[in-house]
Chain A
Amino acid sequence: MKTTQTIFEDGGHKWIAVVRDPKRPAHVIDTNEYLIAHDDEAILCDPGGSEIFPAVFSALSVEFDPSRIRALFSSHQDPDIISSLSMWLEFNPEIKCYLSWLWASFVSHFGGTEKTFVVIPDAGMEIFVGGLRLQAIPAHYLHSSGNLHLYDPKAKILFSGDVGAALLPAGEDSLFVENFDHHIHHAEGFHRRWMGSNKAKREWCERVSRLDIDMLCPQHGAIYRGEDVKRFIDWFANLEVGILKT
């Protein structure tokens, strides 16, 4: 089963990371899910694939009543991001799924009705959860052509989808990046291959540099915090991406 860790808490405002499943089959990529709760409502970022739904749901329900999840945020359309949609709808058919306008009619193959999807324009938009204002930040072509990240200005946390992701070897399962220089080797190949556009990357780096970020939370690997956030953005800005050889 996965475990949960509260990475931010301020009264009724919480970020809960759902991470690391020791029983996960080796052929299924490890993912991080993040729940942003505010008072009585919550949004779940990249809820994961249907194969890992039992692990995510059970871990989450220890910390938080899943029936209070009002929305899902899908950074893009990949199966490891959102193929569990139909399972979440089982518990709350009214649940909303925020995602790029580009993918609404594609992700609906995983489940949902016309009312399920709240499409986000290319420029991003504000999303409100229990009175908390979140900001969907454009990250197109990183790696998906319709890609968005979610910024919480109050908690100063950026959920960055696949940006910042690292494929960690067995045994290196720390939730936070402990040694940036060592960690970034596990991220390099992934970013070179998966991220498709240097121009999009530069624009994203400029955009997020203007945000006040304490933690950068990717969907795979470990969380960057403090100075490592800036280190990561600088490293990414200088990395040549969109190439086949690593």
Chain B
Amino acid sequence: MAIGNQRGHQLRRIVRVNEEIKTVIATAFTINLMAMNAIFLAKRAGTAALGFGVLSNELRRFAIDLQKQMALLSEMTYDSVSTVTALLKQARLNQMLKGTLSVCTGVGKRLVEDALRTRLEGALSDRQEQSDAINRRLSQMITDTCQLVELGSVLARSAKIEAAYGGKLSVPLTQVSSDFEQSIGEIQRSLEKLTKHHLEESDA
């Protein structure tokens, strides 16, 4: 595949990664609101829902941490877009230089050869290293986010168990904890897609 096309694919994949990030941020925001409601509900349920209250607090903290983490991921994908765009521009310049070389003779040919050599040795490889470094950091951050969401999933399951001891409010607490579980499930699915797109991008 031509380098330009390859970079074009990379840009499209980054767009898909960004779409998943937006979905996760929106869901994390919903979890945050749900957790606030759950905290009030647990207070109303009194001592029977103390455990549920603690878990709701933890889920709220989880949602805030996740939003922050996703904002960082979003920033990193922006860096990735900048680097890929620069690579795309460099590839286009190289392509034009090669086109010029094919029709040049004499002093012009020598100048183009020098320019191509300098470019291939310098700017392009620097940009490629930069792109690789961003990809590595992005991979690490996605792994960290997956672990964070795993923790969220455990909290949601525990909240479901605690809801059973919620006395008179056991039914609404169970409903809320099921909502938590469902939302975190959505986040997990988004993260799976995000990881897949990112891996495709890294391979490219």
A interface residues, Cβ below 8 angstroms from B: 1, 50, 53-55, 57-58, 60-62, 65-67, 86-87, 90-91
15 sampled A-B residue pairs with Cβ under 8 A: A50-B96, A54-B96, A54-B100, A57-B100, A57-B104, A57-B112, A58-B103, A58-B108, A61-B108, A62-B106, A66-B107, A67-B111, A87-B93, A90-B93, A90-B119
Determine the chain A residues whose CB is within 8 A of the CB of B93 once the complex forms. Answer: 86-87, 90
Given the known interface contacts A58-B105, A62-B105, A90-B119, the answer about A53 and B100 at a Cβ–Cβ threshold of 8 Å is yes
Determine the chain A residues whose CB is within 8 A of the CB of B104 once the complex forms. Answer: 54, 57-58, 61
> How many angstroms between the C-alpha atoms of A227 and B149 in the bound complex?
81
Q: Are B99 and A54 in contact (CB under 8 A)?
A: yes
> How many angstroms between the C-alpha atoms of A62 and B102 in the bound complex?
14
Taking the closest CB of chain B, its distance from the CB of A142, in whole angstroms, is 31
Given the known interface contacts A87-B93, A90-B119, A91-B115, the answer about A65 and B100 at a Cβ–Cβ threshold of 8 Å is no
> How many angstroms between the C-alpha atoms of A91 and B117 in the bound complex?
12
> How many angstroms between the C-alpha atoms of A67 and B115 in the bound complex?
11
Determine the chain A residues whose CB is within 8 A of the CB of B99 once the complex forms. Answer: 54
Total residues of chain B contacting the partner, CB 8 A: 17
Q: Does B3 count as interface, using CB distance less than 8 angstroms?
A: no
Q: Does B97 count as interface, using CB distance less than 8 angstroms?
A: yes
Q: How many A-B residue pairs have CB under 8 A?
A: 48
> How many angstroms between the C-alpha atoms of A60 and B108 in the bound complex?
8
Within B51-89, which residues are at the interface with A (CB < 8 Å)?
none
Interface of A is mostly: helix
Determine the chain B residues whose CB is within 8 A of the CB of A90 once the complex forms. Answer: 93, 97, 115, 119
Q: Which 10 A-B pairs have the closest CB atoms?
A: A61-B108, A54-B100, A58-B103, A58-B104, A54-B99, A65-B107, A90-B115, A57-B100, A1-B103, A54-B103
Determine the chain A residues whose CB is within 8 A of the CB of B115 once the complex forms. Answer: 90-91
> How many angstroms between the C-alpha atoms of A1 and B111 in the bound complex?
18
> How many angstroms between the C-alpha atoms of A126 and B84 in the bound complex?
42
> How many angstroms between the C-alpha atoms of A67 and B108 in the bound complex?
9
Q: Are B96 and A61 in contact (CB under 8 A)?
A: no
> How many angstroms between the C-alpha atoms of A235 and B114 in the bound complex?
49
Given the known interface contacts A86-B93, A90-B93, the answer about A58 and B100 at a Cβ–Cβ threshold of 8 Å is yes
Q: Which of B97, B102, B105, B119 contacts A61 (CB 8 A)?
A: B105
Determine the chain A residues whose CB is within 8 A of the CB of B106 once the complex forms. Answer: 61-62
- Nearest CB to that of A84 among chain B residues? B96
Q: Are B111 and A66 in contact (CB under 8 A)?
A: yes
Determine the chain B residues whose CB is within 8 A of the CB of A60 once the complex forms. Answer: 108
Q: Are B119 and A57 in contact (CB under 8 A)?
A: no
> How many angstroms between the C-alpha atoms of A1 and B102 in the bound complex?
11
